[in-house]
């Protein structure tokens, strides 16, 4: 099994995290892991993100990756910070090639058949379907998946606790991504753990 597939099969939900204060990184990761969500995507949308990745790598059981990686410089910075996987909202040949060369599990965003074909050309077979709801939702992904039987997906963007199960019921969907696990500025870690446990109980 490819490392990216193993990662996608670890938990049904990958929390998409936006971290403003690096001091939140460790308690946030601990709460999510305690709830059963081990694969954590820290988006490179805030100045604290790379330090948050470094800090979270110290949390037992956590598998920490970088999200919102859009170019080679960010890819390198994310790897240097200890990222164990890379998520991107889209796929360019330049970034795709660099991620393949770096031999790091890579989950690029795709939104149409051309995107998937560009990924297949690079040897990639596992993609984030983004933005999942805005891009047509479940009917769109089912139609898109049809011609690409060996390809696997992680729908992200607009997916919530009460819709995740519908996505996970699609055979080619291994997990979903979502930001609903931790609210902006939230520090109620018991609540985050409870939310993570609910998400972890979804059938993957
Ligand atoms: O930052 C990235 O790399 C992205 O591609 C965007 C995120 O995956 C979505 O913003 C999560 O979507 P929501 O769960 O609807 O908030």
pLDDT at 44: 98
Please give the distance of CA 110 from its chain centroid, rounded to a whole number. 13
The pLDDT confidence band at residue 203, using thresholds 50, 70 and 90, is confident
pTM greater than the 0.90 cutoff:
yes
From 41, 133, 152, 193, active-site residue: 41
Q: Closest ligand 1 atom, CA of 180? A: 14
Q: How far is CA 29 from CA 106, 116, 169, in A?
A: 21, 31, 27
Q: Measured in angstroms, how far is the CA atom of residue 156 from the centroid of ligand 1?
A: 6
Per-residue pLDDT tens over the stretch 76-104: 999 999 999 999 999 999 999 999 999 99
Find the Cα–Cα–Cα–Cα dihedral 80, 47, 100, 12, rounded to 10°. Answer: 110
Segments forming the whole domain that contains residue 14: 3-203
Task: Examine residue 115 and say whether the peptide bond preceding it is cis (omega within 30 degrees of 0).
Answer: no
DSSP letter assigned to residue 132: T
What would the pLDDT profile of 22-79 be if each residue is shown by its tens digit?
Answer: 999 999 999 999 999 999 999 999 999 999 999 999 999 999 999 999 999 999 999 9
Atom of ligand 1 nearest to the CA of 67: 3
Q: What is the number of other CB atoms lying within 10 angstroms of the CB of residue 172? A: 18
- The answer on pLDDT for 204 being more than 70 is no
Could you identify the residue written with the tokens 């490392």?
3
CATH number at residue 129: 3.20.20.70
Q: Which of 95, 156, 162 to mutate to test the pocket of ligand 1 (most atoms within 8 A of CB)?
A: 156
Q: Which strands make up the sheet holding 63-67, listed edge to edge?
A: 152-155, 126-129, 106-110, 86-88, 63-67, 39-43, 13-17, 176-178
Number of domains composing the chain: 1
């Amino acid at each position: 099994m490819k490392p990216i597939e193993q990662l996608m099969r670890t938990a049904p939900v990958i929390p998409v995290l936006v971290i403003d204060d690096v001091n939140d990184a460790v308690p946030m990761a601990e709460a999510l892991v305690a709830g059963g969500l081990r694969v954590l995507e820290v988006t490179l949308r805030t100045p604290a993100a790379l330090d948050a990745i470094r800090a979270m790598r110290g949390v037992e059981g956590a598998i920490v990756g970088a999200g919102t990686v859009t170019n080679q410089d960010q890819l390198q910075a994310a790897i240097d910070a200890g990222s164990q996987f890379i998520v991107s909202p889209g796929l360019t040949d330049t970034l795709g090639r660099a991620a393949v060369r770096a031999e790091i599990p890579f989950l690029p965003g795709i939104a149409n058949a051309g995107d998937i074909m560009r990924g297949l050309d690079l040897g990639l077979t596992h993609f984030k379907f983004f933005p999942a709801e805005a891009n047509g939702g479940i009917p769109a992904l089912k139609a898109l998946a049809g011609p690409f039987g060996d390809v696997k997906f992680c729908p992200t963007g607009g997916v919530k606790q009460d819709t995740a199960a519908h996505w996970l019921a699609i055979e080619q969907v291994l997990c979903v991504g979502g930001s609903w696990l931790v609210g902006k500025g939230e520090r109620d870690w018991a609540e985050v753990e409870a939310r993570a446990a609910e998400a972890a109980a979804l059938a993957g």
